[in-house]
């Protein structure tokens, strides 16, 4: 018992000097990657749809709306930035937990502008946010049986926002406890089963990363203003796990090793702008094409063996828009076959509607692979077996258990910097891009986060 308070104590008291160097370095990588995704995502139709109602309600505020040239109230800015950061499905995450960057980083930056925080404070807030939300995600993860009925990352996602913003506001332990409880009452329901998997186009709520920014920021501000919330939001048989639609809860998972073991080190980063479950197949297809120097025109057919759940969710041969395309494995494989380098334009309408892309998609066949199914169920590994047959009759196969970008095959700092440059070019100039990279690498010495956000406004 008492785990809500233990989590609040950790969130309010952790200091950067107490964190291993690798943790601070990983937090910088998460911030850089999330902000890069937000810069490019700001130019998508999804982000534009999020901006219109915000502007209709009136502009003005202290927080930067990344890549879109205006400011808004912190909760509204964080919402739009969260949508932008996740719009291209290029942002990283933790396997089978969710995309935490859009909620943690966008909430922390907006609150940082509210209180004129330093880069060091931003780093501490982001580290705390990732640790709090990832532990909650683990502690309340439903059984596989329950997940077949109800699942979704949204309910616990906003605790990242609460932790980050509460830290920026300097909440006391008691106030952080109340903030956690208030957010628990504000949290969205688990909605992944209502994404329209069987009735496309897909829902644009996606991973529910943005709305929890609004709820989390307001929960922290209300707690600062003496608003009372539930004080034991996680404890007991009627705790938050029940509210979130889960059938399991582990208090030990929530608090064991706090301040000593950091889940942020388990983050993966994405080399492709699409669902992580497609990445092993894309790695395999790219490896075979490179090995034989084949072009897409020389390929007769591609067979991809994956786990059944992966096939069920990503087996779409007629994507309607960018979100559909992000969750279409045949579409992503087709782009690799056609030699189109991954980037922010992968989901342009011209590509989705292209007869050449649609024809290439028809070369891709998905099937259930028993070994990939076993790894998916036992080790939560999303791998793929890829086989390509050339027009000349040559058949080549490759097995990929772990996609690039994760712990087993990490992306380097140089690769992440290059990805940031590619994404930032959609919204800001080269000078601002290089200054932003420099500030993010030296974030603990930046006196005011406004110096960074000024470069990102576009």
Residue owning tokens 């094409």: 289
Q: Assess if residue 416 is contained within a domain.
A: yes
Strands 299-306 and 70-72: unpaired
CATH value at residue 319: 3.30.1330.120
Domain membership of residue 28 as a residue range? 3-271+412-456
Residue 432 covered by a domain: yes
Same domain? For 280 and 267 the reply is: no
| Phi, psi at 280, each rounded to 5° | -60, -40
SS (H, E, C) the chain: CCHHHHHHHHHHHCCHHHCCHHHHHHHHHHHHHHHHHHHHHCCCHHHHHHHHHHHHCCCCCCEEECCCCEEECHHHHHHHHHHHHHHCCCCCEECCCECCHHHHHHHHHHHHHHHCCCHHHHHHHHHHHHHHHHHHHHHCCCCHHHHCCCCCCHHHHHHHHHHHHHHHHCCCHHHHHHHHHHHHHHCCCCCHHHCCCCCCCCCCCCCCCCHHHHHHHHHHHHHHCCCCCCCCCCCCCCCHHHHCCCCCCCHHHHHCCCCCCCHHHHCECCCCCCCHHHHHHHHHHHHHHHHHCCCHHHEEEEEEEECHHHHHHHCCCCCCCHHHHHCCHHHHHHHHHCCCCCCCCCCCHHHHCCHHHHHHHCCEEEEECHHHHHHHHHHCCCCEEEEEEECCCCEEEEEECCCCCCCCCCCCHHHHHHHHHHHHCCCCCHHHHHHHHHHHHCHHHCCCCHHHHHHHCC
Q: Determine the pLDDT at residue 207.
A: 84
Please report whether residue 407 resides in a domain.
Answer: no
What is the C-alpha separation between 360 and 356, in angstroms, rounded?
6
| Residue 132: inside a domain | yes
438 and 294 in a single domain? The answer is no
How far is Cα 286 from Cα 355, in angstroms, rounded to an integer? 22
In a domain, 405, yes or no: no
Task: Check: CB of residue 97 under 8 Å from CB of residue 207.
Answer: no
The token pair that represents 394 in the structure block: 């040559």
* Structural domain total, the chain: 2
Do 319 and 342 reside in the same domain of the chain? yes
How many whole angstroms separate alpha carbon 49 and alpha carbon 76? 13
pLDDT in tens, 182-223: 999 999 999 988 999 888 999 998 889 999 999 999 999 999
By residue count, the chain amounts to 458
Smallest CA-to-CA distance from 346 within 40, 84, 67 is with 40
Pair 35, 421: CB distance under 8 Å = no
Of 355, 376, 400, which residue is a domain's last?
400
Q: Is the pLDDT of residue 1 over 80?
A: no
* 199 and 255 part of one domain: yes
Instruction: Give the pLDDT band (50/70/90) at residue 151.
Output: confident
Cβ atoms of 328 and 319 within 8 Å: the answer is: yes
Domain boundary among 377, 400, 423: 400
The answer as to whether 376 is a domain residue is yes
Looking up residue 251, the CATH number of its domain turns out to be 1.10.4100.10
Same domain for 162 and 61: yes
| Interval 317-350: pLDDT, tens | 999 999 999 999 999 999 999 999 999 999 999 9
**Does residue 142 form part of some domain?**
yes
Same domain? 229 vs 287? no
Please check the confidence at residue 30 and state whether its pLDDT lies above 80: yes
- Among residues 357, 375, 400, the one where a domain terminates is 400
pLDDT in tens, 375-418: 998 888 899 999 999 999 999 999 999 999 999 999 999 999 99
Residue 152 has pLDDT above 90, yes or no: no
Residue 239 sits in the same domain as residue 290: no
Contact status, residue 85 vs residue 32, Cβ threshold 8 Å: no
Predicted confidence band of residue 63 (pLDDT cuts 50, 70, 90): very high
**Is the domain of 305 the same as that of 331?**
yes
CA distance 452 to 288: 41
Is the same domain home to 265 and 283? no
Q: Are residues 265 and 282 in the same domain?
A: no
- What is the predicted pLDDT for the residue at 153? 79
Please check whether residues 95 and 36 belong to one and the same domain.
Answer: yes
My answer on whether 325 and 255 are in the same domain is no
406 assigned to some structural domain? no
Average pLDDT rounded to a whole number, residues 103-121: 98
Mean pLDDT of the chain: 96
Q: List the one residue out of 103, 146, 157 whose CA is nearest residue 249.
A: 146
Q: Give the β-pairing of 364-368 and 299-306.
A: parallel
């Amino acid at each position: 018992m008492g785990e809500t308070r233990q989590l609040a104590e950790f969130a309010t008291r952790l200091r950067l000097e107490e964190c291993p160097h690798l943790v601070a370095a990983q937090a910088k990588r998460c911030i850089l990657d999330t902000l890069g995704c937000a810069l490019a995502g700001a130019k998508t139709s999804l982000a534009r749809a999020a901006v219109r109602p915000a502007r209709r309600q009136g502009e003005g505020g202290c927080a930067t709306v990344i890549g879109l040239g205006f400011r808004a109230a912190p909760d509204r800015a964080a919402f739009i930035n969260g949508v932008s950061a996740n719009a291209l499905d290029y942002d990283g995450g933790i396997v089978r937990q969710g995309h935490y960057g859009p909620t943690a980083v966008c909430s922390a930056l907006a609150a940082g502008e509210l209180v004129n925080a330093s880069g060091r404070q931003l780093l501490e807030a982001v580290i705390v946010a990732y640790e709090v939300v990832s532990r909650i995600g683990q502690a309340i993860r439903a059984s596989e049986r329950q997940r077949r009925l109800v699942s979704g990352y949204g309910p616990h996602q906003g605790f990242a926002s609460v932790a980050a913003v509460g830290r920026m506001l300097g909440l006391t332990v008691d106030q952080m406890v109340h903030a956690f409880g208030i957010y628990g009452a504000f949290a969205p329901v688990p909605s992944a089963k209502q994404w329209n998997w069987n009735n496309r186009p897909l829902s644009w709520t996606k991973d529910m990363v943005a709305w929890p920014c609004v709820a989390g920021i307001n929960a922290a501000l209300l707690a600062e203003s003496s608003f009372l919330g539930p004080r034991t939001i996680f404890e007991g048989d009627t705790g938050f796990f029940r509210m979130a639609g889960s059938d399991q809860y582990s208090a030990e998972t929530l608090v064991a090793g706090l301040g000593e073991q950091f889940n942020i080190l388990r983050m993966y980063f994405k080399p492709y702008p699409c669902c992580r479950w497609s990445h092993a197949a894309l790695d395999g297809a790219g490896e075979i094409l490179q090995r034989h120097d084949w072009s897409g025109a020389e390929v007769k057919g591609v067979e991809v063996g994956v786990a059944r759940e992966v096939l069920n969710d990503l087996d779409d041969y007629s994507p309607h828009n960018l979100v559909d395309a992000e969750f279409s494995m045949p579409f992503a494989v087709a782009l690799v076959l056609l030699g189109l380098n991954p980037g922010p334009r992968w989901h342009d309408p011209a590509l989705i509607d292209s007869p050449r892309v649609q024809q290439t998609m028809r070369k891709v066949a998905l099937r259930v692979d028993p070994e990939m199914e076993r790894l998916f169920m036992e080790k939560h590994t999303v791998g793929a077996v890829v086989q390509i047959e050339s027009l000349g009759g040559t058949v080549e196969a490759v097995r990929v258990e772990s996609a690039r970008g994760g712990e087993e095959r990490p992306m380097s700092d140089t690769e992440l910097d290059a990805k940031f440059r590619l994404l930032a070019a959609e919204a800001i100039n080269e000078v601002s891009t290089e200054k932003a990279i420099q500030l993010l690498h030296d974030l603990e010495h930046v006196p005011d986060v406004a110096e960074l956000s000024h470069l990102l406004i576009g």
